[in-house]
Amino acid sequence: MALKLHTESLQTEPPRHGEATSAMSAAPRAKPASTVQKWRHLAMQREVIVLLAMVLFNLIFTPHFWSLQTFNVNMTQVVTIVIVGIGMTLVVATGGIDLSVGASMAISGALAPMLFLNIPGPGGIALAFVLPVLAAALCGVFNGLLVTRLSVQPIVATLVLFIAGRGIAQVVTDGSLQAFNTPAFQWIALGKVAGVPFQVLLMLALVAVFVWVVRKTLFGQYLLITGGNEKAAYLCGVPTASVKLIAYTSCAALAGLAGLISISVNSSSDANVVGLGVELDAIAAVAVGGTALTGGKAYIGGTLIGALIIQLLRYTLLAHGIPDAAALVVKAGIIVAAVYVQRRAR
């Protein structure tokens, strides 16, 4: 064994002058890695080019697109997509999907007003930020246990809360609209820091944190390995079940946070509306951002760009008189196109 290890170590030494021919013959082996990097780089360029092209189109053809009000409207609407999209990226990276993020938003958005409207003072505000997010996280734990312990397919496991979760929110609120005017709570969405909306700063901070988590932490490595080949990862000692459970829990918790922002913007909470259709937006943002829906990849920065493209597309269609219902068809087409491009890039 020692002799074998010694021989392998000799093979990794730099080639001598007389071994130039063999070194040149070995060089093409590095080509696949460089090809993958080029495809990834080109994909990111393509996304940026599409985003810039849409901005340029609107600057030329859409009235008042350059106004500060339009910018604030678009940024306000994209924040929730990005935050939910970050969690969706983690789940998709494991090879799964979460259809219940909208329901998690609805549950969180239903619980928060019940807390700060019935518990006076800062204590009620604090509980309204913490408990709803924890409740949403429990939804993620439920999804994760179905996937990992009962081996239920992710699309089926999350479909349970997709159906029941919004019903739970409606039962809790008796199906009624909760209107409020609570600046201390709504500051998360309406407050500004140095003229910049706080929710935008929060979104960018979350993007930065999860980019670091995916790229620099052991969990990030486990996440990608699990999505790439779960069976091989398990045999190598990776706690694949725990990785998936954390991914689904994080996704639901982020959806819960997005629910708080959503109701704060609207100064009301309606379980029938909060988070409605956000699943499609998040999945589209993830796919357009370059994360493979088959798992093994997680581009958080790409999800940010994808969400900007999705939101700008929606705004462009509405600004030019195309109904929002048609935007759903367009977004579905974008997902199909993104998956096709990913397959061609392999």
Q: Where are the domains of the chain?
A: 66-345
In one-letter notation, the amino acid at residue 219 is F
pLDDT by residue, tens only, the chain of 346 residues:
343 334 333 333 344 444 444 433 443 444 454 665 655 565 556 788 888 899 999 999 988 888 888 888 888 889 999 999 999 999 999 999 999 999 999 999 999 999 999 999 999 999 999 999 999 999 999 999 999 999 999 999 999 999 999 999 999 999 889 999 999 999 999 999 998 899 999 999 999 999 999 999 999 999 999 999 999 999 999 999 999 999 999 999 999 999 999 999 999 999 999 999 999 999 999 999 989 899 999 999 999 999 999 999 889 988 888 887 777 788 788 888 887 877 776 6
66-345 fold = ABC transporter involved in vitamin B12 uptake, BtuC (1.10.3470)
Please tell me the distance from the alpha carbon of residue 98 to that of residue 288, in angstroms, as a whole number: 17
Closest CA to 272 of 131, 157, 107: 107
- For 288, residues 6+ apart whose C-beta sits below 8 A from its C-beta are 47, 302, 305, 306, 309, 310, 334, 335, 338
Please tell me the distance from the alpha carbon of residue 97 to that of residue 229, in angstroms, as a whole number: 16
